[in-house]
């Protein structure tokens, strides 16, 4: 089967997902992409450019199926290519959505700073009409699917008339969950820590952006250091723009405990994953959690909120060990883990195999089957 994959914001996790599926699928995927810049313009104009690219270079042989990501205005792409694609089935993959993506408390930062922190409904509407145009919609987690459809009725009621509330059930019926595939095998084999007597290493490998609450994370470690706990810190998440003053102040207070501060390239990242004893999420938003699963695979003990997508990633038998309910609970668990690194690592070693179900070797056949049912 020939699949045309449209990725108008081709970077980070979107790129890893698209290229990971291409490399592991039994089908033949052609990727049509644009660089990961100017996400709002990608949602407005990316469909026009990708339609032109496809018509100019690839349209001689029709694909059996089109697979698009959520940052594409699918209606525009299909309208501009309708003389060729009218009979081609279309799937939409929802990495995220612009209806329930949380906005920062500070209206001068984040995705809607030009609207002074007020959500621009037009981008949510692009997601909505793209879903209407697709034959099937896939969300990366059950939490994401439920979160979106919980908010959609109120969003449509915002409009004065003909607000199409009946489409909520229609869209839910064509939507299902298809987790993100991850190339976990690139992180193998096991890399034992060079110095087994060193204090336990705490890992931050998430994006350094407001929705991950990095300031809460760094404040937690500053408090832990003030208690006299022995630990080291690796801060290796991807960064966009300038970090906040509170983050920088916290890093400075941790001093020599910080063994790495900055985005880590693949070889160093793999080393830090295997060396780390503990990883923490203080996120207020997470539709999936690739970085957490990478750490889990490398036998790092995770401390995660008992909400968002995390209960789906962690088997129920490990919820009591790994999921916290408030900051006080997290701090107590972190104190225990740093004081008992061997016990924490033992839990992490038992948990690690649970990440394997998200490897592309497992998920690519499932993608192939799901998409295959749409053709013929």
Question: What pLDDT was estimated at residue 109?
Answer: 61
Are 240 and 267 in a shared domain? Answer: yes
Question: 130 and 232 share a domain?
Answer: no
Same domain, 200 and 102: no
pLDDT along the chain (376 residues), means of 10: 97 96 98 95 97 88 96 98 96 96 71 61 96 98 98 95 96 98 95 85 94 96 97 93 91 97 95 97 96 98 98 98 98 98 97 98 98 93
**Same structural domain for residues 177 and 188?**
no
Angle made by CA atoms 230, 231, 233, in degrees to the nearest 5? 155
Instruction: Retrieve residue 105's tokens.
Output: 């408390």
Indicate whether 85 and 209 sit together in one domain: no
- Per DSSP, the residues of 1-21 read -EEEEEEEEESHHHHHHHHHH
Q: Are 224 and 107 members of one domain? A: no
Based on the domain organization, do 190 and 172 belong to the same domain?
no
Are 110 and 201 part of one and the same domain? no
Query: Based on the domain organization, do 318 and 177 belong to the same domain?
Result: no
Q: What does the DSSP assignment read for 81-102?
A: THHHHTTS-EEEEES--TTTSP
Alpha carbon distance 297, 225 (integer Å) = 27
How remote is the C-alpha of 236 from its chain's centroid?
16
Count Cβ atoms within 10 A of the Cβ of residue 247 and give its class: 0-12 exposed, 13-18 middle, 19 or more buried.
middle
CATH number of the domain bearing residue 193 = 3.40.50.2000
Query: What per-residue confidence (pLDDT) applies to 237?
Result: 87
Q: Which domain holds residue 98?
A: 2-183+360-372
Question: What pLDDT is recorded for position 195?
Answer: 75
Q: Are residues 132 and 209 in the same domain?
A: no
Count structural domains, the chain.
2
Please indicate, yes or no, whether residues 175 and 188 belong to a single structural domain of this protein: no
Cβ atoms within 10 Å of 131's Cβ, excluding its own: 24
- Could you tell me if 98 and 199 lie in one domain? no
For residue 110, the model assigns a pLDDT of 61
CA angle 85, 88, 92 (to 5 degrees): 100
Q: Is the pTM of this model over 0.85?
A: yes
């Amino acid at each position: 089967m020939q699949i045309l994959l449209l990725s108008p914001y081709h970077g980070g996790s979107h790129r890893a997902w698209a290229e990971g599926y291409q490399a592991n699928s039994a089908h033949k995927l052609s990727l049509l992409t644009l660089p990961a810049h100017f996400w709002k313009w990608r949602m407005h104009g990316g469909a026009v450019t990708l339609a032109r690219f496809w018509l100019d270079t690839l349209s001689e042989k029709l694909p059996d199926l089109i697979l698009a990501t959520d940052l594409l205005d699918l209606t525009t792409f299909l309208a501009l290519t309708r003389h060729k694609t009218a009979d081609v089935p279309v799937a939409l993959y929802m990495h995220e959505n612009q209806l329930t993506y949380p906005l920062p408390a500070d209206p001068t930062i984040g995705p809607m700073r030009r609207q002074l922190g007020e959500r621009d409904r037009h981008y949510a509407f692009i997601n909505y009409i793209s879903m209407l145009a697709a034959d099937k919609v896939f969300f990366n987690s059950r939490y994401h699917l439920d979160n979106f459809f919980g908010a959609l009725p109120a969003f449509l009621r915002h409009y004065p008339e003909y607000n199409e509330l009946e489409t909520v059930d229609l869209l839910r019926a064509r939507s299902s969950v298809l987790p993100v595939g991850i190339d976990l095998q690139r992180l193998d084999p096991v890399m034992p820590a060079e110095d087994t007597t060193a204090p336990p290493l705490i890992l931050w490998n998430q994006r350094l952006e407001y929705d991950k609450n990095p300031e809460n994370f760094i404040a937690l470690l500053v408090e832990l250091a003030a208690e006299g706990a022995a630990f080291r810190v690796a801060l290796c998440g991807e960064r966009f723009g300038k970090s906040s003053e509170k983050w920088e102040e916290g890093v400075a207070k941790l001093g020599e405990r910080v063994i790495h501060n900055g985005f880590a390239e693949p070889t160093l990242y793999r080393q830090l994953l295997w060396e780390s004893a503990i990883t923490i999420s203080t996120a207020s938003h997470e539709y999936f959690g690739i970085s957490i699963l990478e750490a889990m695979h490398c036998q790092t003990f995770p401390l995660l909120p008992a909400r968002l997508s995390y209960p789906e990633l962690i088997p129920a038998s490990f919820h009591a060990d790994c999921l916290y309910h408030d900051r006080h609970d997290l701090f107590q668990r972190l104190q225990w883990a740093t004081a008992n690194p061997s016990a924490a690592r033992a839990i992490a070693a038992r948990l690690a195999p649970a990440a394997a179900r998200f490897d592309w070797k497992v998920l690519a056949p499932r993608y192939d089957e799901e998409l295959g049912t749409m053709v013929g």
